[in-house]
Structure 1
Amino acid sequence: MLEEFNSLKWENRIILVNTVNNKDSIIKIFEQNEDDINERDIVWFVIQHDTLATNFNGNLADNFLSNAVKKYKSSQGKVMLIGKDGDIKSSRESLYLEAIFLEIDAMPMRQIEMQSQ
């Protein structure tokens, strides 16, 4: 049962999207880029008001949403990239997945991953 992002530390990168009204279109973008997302060990979470969508395939604790918003001070209209080390790598006003992929691919840990593939 996932209660907070710390359980994903060193295993996954996280994209946290806190949106006001375009949750379905954001989820569609993630689904269309599933192979690239999986290759980069990304788990995404899309928050809209009090609802949550994710590609995490385990169970989420009832307090997961409030823990995530509190820890990363996620505000509406923000897109955050959180590295495998648990640190916020970037924060944007909108989801531009290609830019996020380029940012991830430039990270030292990702460079090592690409060399070993």
Structure 2
Amino acid sequence: MGIVGRFCAVDATLECLFESPHPVKKLLFSVLCAGLCMRALAQEPTMISDLRDLQWQHRILVLNEPHNPEALFERLSTNAAAFDERRLIWFVLHGGTVQTNYPETPGDELSTNIRSQLNAGLNEALLIGLDGGVKARGNRLDLEALYAMIDAMPMRRAEQRE
């Protein structure tokens, strides 16, 4: 039954229940309505399939096929505050998987889309700005240099003044 059908059924039940003076029926009905409303408003988890969906919202760090992904995840995790401060999201592409600090689930095609759009090489790191342009790429990840580069960007300086 669709949402409209549920609400029509609820409306008919509402008339019936509120004609009754019994408080327990009214309480049960309120609980039923709350449950139906929450279910109707619940959304399927969203998936990200293209980095362009993040343009103007986040800076992006893409790490393609790193040599030591476990050590990399540890470095990225310990620097979470610095990433958050700079609105920096990371994506690590390793094998057929994508790991990220972005809250949405990576779609199955994200890895393929990133590799084809950015032409990322093995063990390559790419920094993508808020405007969607590639700002830097290289085979060595120096987080302090990355932060300095981001902090020197005009949009980041404007964010820091706010």
Give the % identical residues: 31
Aligned residues: 116
Contact 2:59/2:86 (8 A) holds in 1: yes
**1:57 maps to what in 2?**
103
Q: Distance in 2 between matches of 1:49 and 1:114?
A: 37
Write out per-residue CA displacement over residues 13-38 of structure 1, whole angstroms, 9 at most, x where no aligned residue. 00000134311111111111110100
AA of the residue aligned to 1:77 = N
Q: Distance in 1 between matches of 2:67 and 2:115?
A: 17
AA of the residue aligned to 2:149 = E
Q: Distance in 1 between matches of 2:138 and 2:125?
A: 5
Which of residues 98, 117, 121 in structure 2 aligns to 1:71? 117
User: For the aligned residues, what is the CA RMSD?
Assistant: 0.9
Instruction: Answer yes or no: is 1:48 the counterpart of 2:83.
Output: no
State the Cα distance separating 1:47 from its structure 2 match. Answer: 1.2
Runs of 4+ residues over 6 Å off in structure 1: none
SS at match of 2:98: strand
AA of the residue aligned to 2:141 = L
The one of the two structures with greater contact order (alpha-carbon pairs below 8 A, sep at least 6) is 1
Give the TM-score normalised by structure 2. 0.69
Give the TM-score normalised by structure 1. 0.95
AA of the residue aligned to 2:63 = V
- Cα distance 1:21–1:39, how it changes in 2: closer, same or farther (>3 A)? same
Consecutive unaligned residues in structure 1, runs of 5 or more: none
SS at match of 2:105: coil
Which one has the largest radius of gyration? 2
Q: Distance in 2 between matches of 1:106 and 1:16?
A: 20
AA of the residue aligned to 1:96 = D
Contact 1:23/1:47 (8 A) holds in 2: no
Instruction: Answer yes or no: is 1:35 the counterpart of 2:94.
Output: no
Contact 1:19/1:77 (8 A) holds in 2: yes
